[in-house]
Homo-oligomer: A and B are copies of this chain.
Amino acid sequence: MREIGVCAGLNDDECGRLVAIATRIKIDAKRAVFSETDPARHVFNVTAGSIRLSKALADGRRQITGFLFPGDFLGIAYAKTYAYTAEAMTPLSLCRFQRQKFEALFNEIPALERRVLEVASNEIKTAQDHMLLLGRKSAKEKVLSFLWSCSERTAHENRPADLVELPMNRIDVADYLGLSAETVSRTFSRLVNEGVLELLTNHTIIVRQPERLRKIAEGE
């Protein structure tokens, strides 16, 4: 069951015990997996589809804190509620675990807890990077950093590194980068004019100057 990302680092037996307590569920596009105030009863592993994580203010302003893809783990929370919302951007396949059962396995499978701590540590690192982006980067730098991280991700999946797929719409990109949708759109247009990018469709981008991307993304 190597499709379950949290299994990385586990042996077949351990993985089997995890699968034994898993429920496979499907969720339609645009449906919430859970909301900010929901009691945190489950943890999940994404097997297919993509998810956006967000927090909102009372007046509707929204910050997307991350996007999840197949293999990603969802639902780490030590509080009673999730404190953020997870929504399906595409149809989803998930492995769902009851939190209680999942955490009970920590005692039997130390490698599982180690793995969850690893996931949490990576999440902290990603969050810190994103705070730097939100607090200190210009619109152009935000967009280029975002495209860079997207191309980093798909680079693993034996695709041409200069072809970036964006499963989310402009508003989602804007809410992820702390910008307005108009500014995201204008910034894309400007980068196309400058010859850095080419928009194949609204969700498919060709990076013409990957070196430029890397430099700005890595803060040089």
| Residues of chain A whose beta carbon lies under 8 Å from any beta carbon of chain B | 53, 55-59, 61-63, 65, 76-79, 83-84, 106-107, 110, 113-114, 116-118, 120-125, 127-132, 134-137, 175, 177-178, 219-220
Contact = CB atoms under 8 A, between A and B. Distances in A.
A125 B57 contact: no
Given A125-B77, A129-B55, A135 B219 contact: no
A193 to B, nearest CB: 24
7 contacts: A55-B132, A63-B131, A63-B132, A76-B124, A77-B125, A79-B125, A127-B127
A117 to B, nearest CB: 5
Contacts of A131: 55, 63, 65, 127, 130-131, 134
Contacts of A116: 117
A125 B178 contact: no
A63 B134 CA distance: 9
Nearest to A53: B128
Contacts of A178: 134-136
A125 B220 contact: no
A65 B129 CA distance: 9
Given A57-B136, A135-B177, A120 B130 contact: no
Nearest to A215: B58
Given A117-B117, A177-B135, A125 B61 contact: no
A122 B78 CA distance: 7
Nearest to A59: B219
A50 to B, nearest CB: 19
A173 to B, nearest CB: 12
A107 B109 CA distance: 11
